[in-house]
Structure 1
Amino acid sequence: MLAQILIAMHRLILQGINLYRIALVVYFLLSWMPGAYQSKLGQFLIRICEPYVGIFRQFVPPIGMISLAGIVAFFALRFIEYGVTAVFQLVFNLLI
């Protein structure tokens, strides 16, 4: 029973991370379209993506007119996913 709950929680968190990854890709693609951030979708994505990407903008300087903070944020999300999986494996092995 506990194992099933842990597995379900792990899958739910990973699905949330994947949905957020898709939101980040759409958010980055909107930057290529003039006025796209003024749409309802653009405003929604700004509210959910900018706080996360903004953290990386503080540490990753732009190169010319190109900001690499989004790329770093995208790959950092992959490392967060690995960390979540490692924690769940550790808890699973300790409790089961």
Structure 2
Amino acid sequence: MLELYNLLNILLNVYMLILLAYCIFSFLLSFGVVNPSSSIIRGIYMFLSQMCDPLLNSIRQLLPSLGTIDISPVIVFLVIDFVIRPILRYMLLGY
């Protein structure tokens, strides 16, 4: 069970890194730091948005509108760290 827990923990870490990259990349795009017409930039952004937008959109539907502030990535980080990981640890390791 320890191997399964470690694998799932690694997958959660990878998803959190992808989500962090998505957040940083969207800031860079919105402030005009990177050129969105570049095919490489567009490809990276499309990959990141395909990985993150389904989960973030479902959370955005549950949250009240805060104008231009999007706290859905923060909610995902908190849920992973304080809900999903403890549940996995309890279910797979027993503590």
Which segments of 5 or more consecutive residues in structure 2 lack a partner in the other structure?
Answer: 30-35
Partner of 2:87: 83
Partner of 1:8: 3
What is the deviation of 1:89? 2.0
Partner of 1:28: 23
Give the letter aligned to residue 12 of structure 2. Answer: I
What TM-score comes out, normalization by structure 2 length?
Answer: 0.78
* Greater length-normalized contact order (CA 8 Å, ≥ 6 residues apart): 2
Structure 1 residue runs of 4 or more that deviate by more than 4 Å after TM superposition: none
What TM-score comes out, normalization by structure 1 length?
Answer: 0.78
Identity of aligned residues (%): 20
Give the letter aligned to residue 28 of structure 2. Answer: M
For residues 65-95 of structure 1, the C-alpha deviation after alignment (integer angstroms, 9 at most, x for no partner) is 11111211121121212211111123xx8xx
For residues 6-29 of structure 1, the C-alpha deviation after alignment (integer angstroms, 9 at most, x for no partner) is 111110010000010111101111
Aligned length: 85
Question: What value does the CA root-mean-square deviation take over the aligned residues?
Answer: 1.9
